């Protein structure tokens, strides 16, 4: 049977240990959910909110449609330091107290505040950056959380005297100024109607913003950020299973983003090709090929255009009758440089397509017209030469992606030519409300930008990817139809290596 490991040392020097070594298997009821492993370890934390329990301070706090009562009220720590937030009677429907704070893009933060209901039941805690806008609505009667967007986690701790400590954890998407963590006082549908001057809406106390994956013990501040180190001394929730030694190889300074989940994007590198559609593409015999015009032929293992008379070399029924993209590969053995060499003809699956006529192996990505099925090489009445090693393979053969006008898949990348359009995975196994880490690589971008949005185009998870490079964003899905990449403002460039993994704060179900 397990025994409660009271006082069992984990590391001799927590402040300097680069890796926490656990000599016994630790089973912790992490954040109230059993069955998950977590290291009972707390780093030094800093609350960067100024005047964290005094929203009357005019330099630190900005108010919108609110007034702060000068009277102080009993706080969760039994001190008389809590503030009452009142409507100022302007008739507006959004009541906020806010504070501008600088953060670091890509870092994980937790914003928390202690709240108590008076006349307003629902409060939205929100980090007002310029992109992701992480937020959630908290019910101050039941403690329920709704409308969580772009957050990694939410947490509600019920306290005495009807107080709740509410928190959201998120990844900062920008480091620009005027980033504001604040309580936005809204009803459950986002539009409260309390506008009576002087009426108390809620009580607030103990704002905190920290670089952490959950809300740590509250750290009061005045006119400067304050740092506090929490001593590792509480093992009341830790169980010790003897003789099971483990070494969690994770840097204590990391945010805890352990990507233990598989990538749900199929063909995210755009390199999948279908089976060969051409039979006898090496022209070993003249079977499988037919000819039209005057002097197309197969001779000595190559396709031949003997002179400049109008001629075709044809293989029938190569391409299915649907609009799809294909990779054509061919080799020019001899060439007189005739500029009209290409694909064409009344039965051509690809219509009229100009092909490179110089000697060498060439690749062309082309889209079928959906009504014809033949592969027809045409000398245009002026090309003399020989071709060999013909190959046609379907791009994205399993239809992993749906491409609207402007998008194509070429040479292992999704490409947009500046025409706009949507690019969407046809299968997405992520359910509503799942927080994911989204990555992609942008190359050859010259103009415009990309944005990542939900299927209904009602929210932008990421709004402005406007440079070349590899980008990583964390967001929470709001519907079951996944996400879409949209080319905006004439985006001209390529994307590659798209991955989406569920955001994992800790190893699960070990």
Predicted confidence at residue 125, as pLDDT, reads 87
Which range is least confidently modeled, 6-10, 171-175, 183-187, 462-466? 6-10
pLDDT over 60 (residue 35): no
Query: 443-491 pLDDT, tens per residue?
Result: 999 999 999 998 777 788 888 899 999 998 888 888 777 789 999 999 9
Cα radius of gyration rounded to whole Å, the chain = 32
**Domains of the chain with bracketed CATH:** 1-41+232-253 (no CATH), 45-227 (2.60.120.260), 290-394 (2.60.120.260), 401-502 (2.60.120.260)
pTM metric for this prediction: 0.55
pLDDT over 50 (residue 31): no
| Distance from C-alpha of 465 to C-alpha of 487, rounded to nearest angstrom | 10
| Distance from C-alpha of 471 to C-alpha of 474, rounded to nearest angstrom | 10
Confidence label for 19 from pLDDT (cuts 50, 70 and 90): very low
Cβ-Cβ contacts under 8 Å for 47 (sequence gap 6 or more): 208, 209, 210, 218, 219, 220, 221, 225, 226, 228
pLDDT over 90 (residue 356): yes
pLDDT over 70 (residue 300): yes
Please state the rounded mean pLDDT for residues 355-363: 95
Please state the rounded mean pLDDT for residues 303-319: 95
Cβ-Cβ contacts under 8 Å for 103 (sequence gap 6 or more): 109, 129, 172, 175, 179, 209
pLDDT over 60 (residue 179): no
Confidence label for 149 from pLDDT (cuts 50, 70 and 90): confident
| Candidate ranges 46-50, 70-74, 370-374; pick with highest mean pLDDT | 370-374
pLDDT over 60 (residue 182): no
Please state the rounded mean pLDDT for residues 412-440: 86
Between 27 and 65, residue with greater pLDDT: 65
Report the mean per-residue pLDDT for the chain.
79
pLDDT over 80 (residue 235): no
pLDDT over 90 (residue 503): no
Which range is least confidently modeled, 58-67, 231-240, 416-425? 231-240
| Distance from C-alpha of 47 to C-alpha of 209, rounded to nearest angstrom | 5
Place of tokens 């971008």: 445
Query: 322-336 pLDDT, tens per residue?
Result: 999 999 999 999 999
Closest CA to 377 of 437, 313, 285, 438: 313
């Amino acid at each position: 049977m397990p025994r409660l490991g009271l006082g069992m040392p984990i590391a001799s020097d927590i402040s300097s240990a680069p890796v926490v070594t656990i000599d016994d298997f630790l089973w912790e009821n992490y954040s109230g959910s059993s069955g998950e492993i977590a290291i009972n370890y707390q780093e030094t934390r800093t609350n960067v909110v100024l005047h964290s329990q005094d929203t009357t301070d005019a330099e630190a706090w900005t108010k919108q449609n609110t007034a702060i009562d000068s009277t102080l009220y009993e706080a969760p720590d039994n001190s008389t330091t809590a503030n009452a937030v009142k409507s100022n009677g302007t008739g507006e429907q959004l009541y906020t107290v806010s504070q501008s704070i600088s953060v670091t893009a890509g870092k994980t933060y937790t914003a928390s505040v202690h709240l108590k209901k008076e006349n307003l039941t629902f409060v939205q805690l929100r980090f007002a950056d310029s992109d992701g806008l992480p937020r959630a609505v908290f019910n101050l009667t039941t403690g329920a959380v709704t409308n969580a967007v772009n957050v990694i986690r939410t947490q509600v701790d019920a306290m005495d005297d009807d107080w709740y400590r509410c928190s959201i954890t998120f990844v900062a998407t920008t480091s620009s100024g005027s980033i504001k963590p604040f309580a936005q006082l809204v009803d459950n549908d986002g539009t409260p109607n309390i506008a009576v001057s002087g009426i108390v809406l809620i009580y607030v106390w103990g704002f905190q913003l920290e670089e952490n994956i959950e809300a740590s013990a509250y750290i009061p501040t005045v006119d400067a950020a304050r740092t506090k180190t929490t001593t590792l001394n509480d093992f009341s929730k830790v169980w010790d299973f003897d003789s099971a030694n483990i070494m969690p190889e994770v840097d204590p300074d990391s945010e805890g983003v352990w990507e233990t989940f598989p990538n749900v994007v199929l063909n995210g590198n755009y390199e999948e090709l279908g089976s060969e559609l051409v039979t006898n593409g090496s022209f070993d015999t003249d079977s499988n090929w037919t000819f039209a015009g005057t002097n197309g032929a197969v001779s000595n293992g190559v396709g031949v255009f003997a002179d400049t008379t109008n001629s075709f070399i044809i293989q029938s029924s190569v391409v299915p009758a649907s609009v799809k993209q294909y990779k054509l590969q061919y080799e020019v053995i001899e060439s007189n440089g005739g500029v009209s060499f290409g694909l064409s003809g009344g039965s051509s699956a690809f219509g009229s397509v100009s092909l490179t006529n110089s000697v060498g192996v060439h690749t062309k990505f082309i889209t079928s017209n959906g009504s014809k099925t033949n592969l027809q090489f045409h000398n245009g009445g002026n090309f003399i030469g020989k071709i060999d090693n013909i190959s046609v393979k379907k791009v994205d053969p399993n239809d992993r992606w749906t491409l609207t006008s402007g998008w194509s898949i070429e040479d292992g990348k999704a490409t947009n030519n500046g025409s706009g359009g949507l690019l969407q995975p046809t299968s997405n196994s992520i359910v509503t409300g799942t927080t994911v880490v989204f990555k992609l690589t942008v190359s050859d971008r010259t103009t415009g930008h990309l944005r990542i949005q939900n299927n209904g185009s009602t929210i932008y998870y990421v709004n402005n990817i406007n440079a070349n490079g590899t980008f990583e964003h964390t967001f929470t899905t709001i519907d079951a139809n996944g996400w879409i990449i949209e080319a905006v403002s004439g985006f001209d460039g390529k994307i590659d290596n798209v991955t989406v993994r569920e955001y994992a704060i800790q190893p699960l179900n070990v």
